[in-house]
Amino acid sequence: MLELDGLRRQFGEVRALDGCTFRVEPGRMVGFLGPNGSGKTTAMRSIFGLLRLDSGEVRWQGAPVTAEVTRRFGYMPESRGLYPKMKVRDQVEYFASLHGANRADARAQADHWLQRLGLEDRVDSTVETLSHGNQQRVQLAVSLAFRSDLLVLDEPFSGLDPIAVATMGEVIRDEAARGAAVLFSSHQLDLVEDLCDDVVIIDHGRVVLAGRLDEVRAASPFRYVEVSGPAALGSWATRVAGAEVMRRRNTTLRVRVPATTDPAVVLETVRAEGGVEGFRFEPPTLSDLFMEAVR
């Protein structure tokens, strides 16, 4: 298990990390969310000792992370980095061997992952000749190529087409199923919601929400009512205690109500307004949680 414990780091006037604390358990996919500049990348870099912390500690299996330990971690940094003139297979092999694989194993791993990611035809191409999406696949292969105990992926899906996103998502899920702890950041909240088991939301360098996705959704003090049809346009929301209109689009209205609200009562109030084509009463989506947490 990876533990980030009270991480603090100041860059000049900016508090990049301000007591950031959370954990990533083996076999779990953890979605790491936060607005731009909230400290996600700084936190991820600190896991690899890529920057000095003002205070706090990163632990793996209860002990401080050392160079020997990070060798068993896979990392896909936000700023992608590969040798442009090195061949794809050589590249993956090289990083696998840096992580301790022997030559035959490094080769086997490289071939396995490149095939899995659909790059088997490009193994002898240099990286600079690949498209952006394919370079990103190579980058993922590099971080996967040594059966990591922990995968840290900074925005792995950014800039990918839906098919590539699906392939990558599947590959990462399989790694978690194998027992790896996976921490990945993304701004694509629907995607994260589909993929992750746990969620950590960070803002201004501190964690504002963390836990199992289903639990944090259930634990939210709010529920969301979505109504479509003529009734949606009425003033029913003003008659529900604590209700706040979140979004109005065509004939659909999304309203946030306190979690204690009785859905039957809400439905009654709406129906009194007119015809109802659709009615949903649900815990917050990840997107709702995110907005609640960082606003």
Partner 1 sequence: MGPLKPVWLVARREVIARLRTKAYRLSTLALVALAVGGVAAVRVLPSFFEDEPPRIGLAPTAAVIRESLQQAATAFGEEIVLSEFTSVQAAQAALAAGDLDAVLVSPDSLLFQEEADPTVQALVGQAAYLATLPERAAAVGITLEEARALIAPPTVETSLVSPPEAGDEAVDDGDRAIAALTTILLLMALTFYGQWVLIGVIEEKSTRVVEVLLATLAPWQLLVGKVLGILLLAVAQIAASVTALVVGLLVVQDIEIPALAATSVAMGVTWLVLGLLLYNFLYAAIGSTVNRPDEASSASFPLMVPLMAGYLGGLIFIPDHPDAPASRVLSLFPFTAPLTMPSRIASGGGSAIEVAIAMALTVVTIGLVIWAGSRIYTGAILRTGKVGLLAAFRGGREVG
Which positions lie near partner 1, rule CB under 8 A? 45, 48-52, 67, 70-71, 73, 75, 77, 79-86, 90, 94-95, 97-100, 139, 142-143
Which residue number, 49 or 133, has a Cβ lying nearer to partner 1? 49
Q: Could you tell me which residues come within 8 angstroms of residue 3 by beta carbon, excluding any fewer than 6 positions away?
A: 22, 23, 58, 59, 60, 62
Q: Could you tell me which residues come within 8 angstroms of residue 65 by beta carbon, excluding any fewer than 6 positions away?
A: 47, 48, 49, 58, 59
Q: Which amino acid is at 220?
A: S
Minimum CB distance to partner 1, residue 78 (Å)? 9
Are the CB atoms for 227 and 257 separated by under 8 Å? no
Minimum CB distance to partner 1, residue 214 (Å)? 32
Minimum CB distance to partner 1, residue 277 (Å)? 51
Minimum CB distance to partner 1, residue 95 (Å)? 7
Are the CB atoms for 96 and 106 separated by under 8 Å? yes
Which residue number, 146 or 236, has a Cβ lying nearer to partner 1? 146
Which residue number, 133 or 263, has a Cβ lying nearer to partner 1? 133
Minimum CB distance to partner 1, residue 227 (Å)? 48
Minimum CB distance to partner 1, residue 31 (Å)? 21
Which residue number, 125 or 251, has a Cβ lying nearer to partner 1? 125
Minimum CB distance to partner 1, residue 75 (Å)? 4
Which residue number, 93 or 288, has a Cβ lying nearer to partner 1? 93
Which residue number, 129 or 260, has a Cβ lying nearer to partner 1? 129
Which residue number, 85 or 295, has a Cβ lying nearer to partner 1? 85
Show contacts of 129-136: CB within 8 Å, 24+ apart.
130/88, 132/159, 133/159, 133/160, 133/161, 133/164, 135/80, 135/82, 136/80, 136/160, 136/164
First-residue to last-residue Cα distance in the chain: 30
Total Cβ atoms within 10 A of residue 205: 23
Are the CB atoms for 16 and 42 separated by under 8 Å? yes
Three-state SS annotation for 222-280: EEEEEEECHHHHCCHHHHCCCCEEEEEECCEEEEEEECCCCHHHHHHHHHCCCCCCEEE
